[in-house]
Amino acid sequence: MNKLLTISPSPHLYQGDSVRKIMYSVIFALLPALVWSFIVFGMPAVILTLTSVASCLVVEWAIQKYMLKTTPSINDGSAVITGILLAMNMPAGLPVWMIVIGALVAIGVGKMSFGGLGQNPFNPALVGRVFLLISYPVQMTTWPNITNSGVDSVTEATPLALIKEGVNSGQTVPQIMENIPAYRELLLGNFSGSLGEVSAALLILGLLYMLIKKVVTWHIPVTTLATMFVFAAILWKANPEQFADPLFHILTGGAMLGAIFMATDYSSSPMSKSGQIVYSIGIGVITICIRTWGAYPEGISFAILIMNAFTPLINNYMKPKRFGEK
């Protein structure tokens, strides 16, 4: 035989999944909610999202090419996800130049400074969002009024903000609730908020797709939402005048987006299933604490970043059960 045989250690068979396939599955799962936000918020949302994705790609490409001097790998889809998630965390009326800064911080600081894909200790999109929230608090909390079509100078508060302001000014929760859309509207997404906050139902649809595709497991999203629900339910049972009910908590704000798409980021969440449960319980508890007693109406992005910081510790202590060991 004139051709040499290939020698390699086993296994000789591979499942054939790739990073790219996984990333594009996540993008596909995000699409229903994203498209819905385009319908609700109109052209500004489209421009915001496209700018965000483009900025993320350019920043990653430039850093890889000119600073790290490696072959750019922006086609793996991960920067696109960061771009979409960043946009979904913004109010539609945000000035476009701001999201460019957000993308720079998300990819440049949140991702590439730690070594790129798989190395980031914090969710890059959240790093970008929190940077903008702290730097430009006014623009970041100015929500367009969706009762008129498209964005309008009239602004509308989000349900969570209404609760926070109301309770702080001495109103009871049932009184405030009269001004808040019904749960069916919250589920379907007929209220104001960030791009990705508005449709719980479509985000759940994305989760189902990712579960079927085995991109994520149920552990993080379900545990996070369940923890929020249980913790909120305890508070609500204790004092329904003071605290909002649990269903309200999981249907509003970034709860769904955070639990399904942000907390599940591979590199910033624990790897063992037991670790993921601990991590998600942490997110759920901290979110409700910030929403109830904190200065901000919404706290899931802070909660996820805080638990991201605990991930290495959780990875170190929550080991899978070893076969044959006690």
Partner 1 sequence: MLKTFKKGGVHPSHNKLTAQKPIEQLPLPKTATFINTQHIGAPSKILVKRGDEIKVGQLIAESGGFVSANIHSSVSGKVAKIDSVIDSGGYRKDAVLINVEGDVWEESIDRSSTLITETSLDKTEIIKKINKAGIVGMGGATFPTHVKLSPPPGMKADLVIINGVECEPYLTSDHRLMLEKGEELMVGITLLIKALGTERAIIGIENNKPDAIEHLKALSKKYKNIEVCPLKVKYPQGSEKHLIKAITGREVPSGGLPIAVGTVVNNVATAISVYEAVMKNKPLIERVVTVTGKHLAQPSNFYVRLGTPVSTLIEAAGGLPENTAKVISGGPMMGRSMVNLGVPVTKGMSGILVFDDAEGHRKPVKSCIRCGRCIVACPMGLEPHLLMTLSEKQMWEKAEEEKIMNCIECGSCSFTCPSNRPLLDYIRLGKSTFGAIIRNRK
50, 95, 118, 208: which one binds partner 1 (CB under 8 A): 118
> Quick one: tokens of 257?
């987006």
Q: Is-contact 297 160, C-beta < 8 A? A: yes
Residues 191 to 230: which contact partner 1 by CB under 8 A? 217
Query: Where would I find the H helices in 178-272?
Result: 183-188, 200-212, 219-238, 246-251, 255-257
Cα–chain center distance at 7: 44
Residue range at the interface with partner 1 (CB under 8 A); choices 43-51, 111-119, 152-160, 284-292: 111-119
29, 36, 64, 76: which one binds partner 1 (CB under 8 A): 76
Say whether residue 7 binds partner 1 (CB under 8 A).
yes
Q: In angstroms, rounded to a whole number, what is the distance separating the alpha carbons of residues 28 and 46?
A: 17
Choice between 48 and 220, CB closer to partner 1: 220
Say whether residue 324 binds partner 1 (CB under 8 A).
yes
Q: In angstroms, rounded to a whole number, what is the distance separating the alpha carbons of residues 264 and 215?
A: 10
Cα dihedral sign, 128-130-136-141: positive
3-class SS at 84? helix
Site track for partner 1 across 119-158, x = CB under 8 A: x---------------------------------------
* Helices and strands (H and E) in the chain: how many: 15, 0
Residue range at the interface with partner 1 (CB under 8 A); choices 96-104, 116-124, 126-134, 252-260: 116-124
Radius of gyration of the chain (CA): 21
Residue range at the interface with partner 1 (CB under 8 A); choices 103-111, 117-125, 187-195, 236-244: 117-125
3, 66, 168, 295: which one binds partner 1 (CB under 8 A): 3
- The least distance separating partner 1 from the CB of residue 266, rounded to whole angstroms, comes to 5
On the question of a cis peptide bond just before residue 9, with omega within 30 degrees of 0, the verdict is: no
Upper half-sphere CA count for residue 161 (Cβ side, 13 Å): 12
Say whether residue 69 binds partner 1 (CB under 8 A).
no
- The least distance separating partner 1 from the CB of residue 86, rounded to whole angstroms, comes to 19
Nearest to 205 by CA among 271, 277, 213: 213
Q: In angstroms, rounded to a whole number, what is the distance separating the alpha carbons of residues 213 and 79?
A: 20
Say whether residue 321 binds partner 1 (CB under 8 A).
yes
5, 138, 154, 238: which one binds partner 1 (CB under 8 A): 5
- The least distance separating partner 1 from the CB of residue 271, rounded to whole angstroms, comes to 4
Say whether residue 266 binds partner 1 (CB under 8 A).
yes
Q: In angstroms, rounded to a whole number, what is the distance separating the alpha carbons of residues 163 and 173?
A: 7
Q: In angstroms, rounded to a whole number, what is the distance separating the alpha carbons of residues 30 and 301?
A: 18
- The least distance separating partner 1 from the CB of residue 22, rounded to whole angstroms, comes to 6
Which positions touch partner 1 (CB under 8 A)? Answer: 1, 3, 5-15, 17-19, 21-22, 73, 76, 78, 116-119, 217, 266-267, 271-273, 319-325
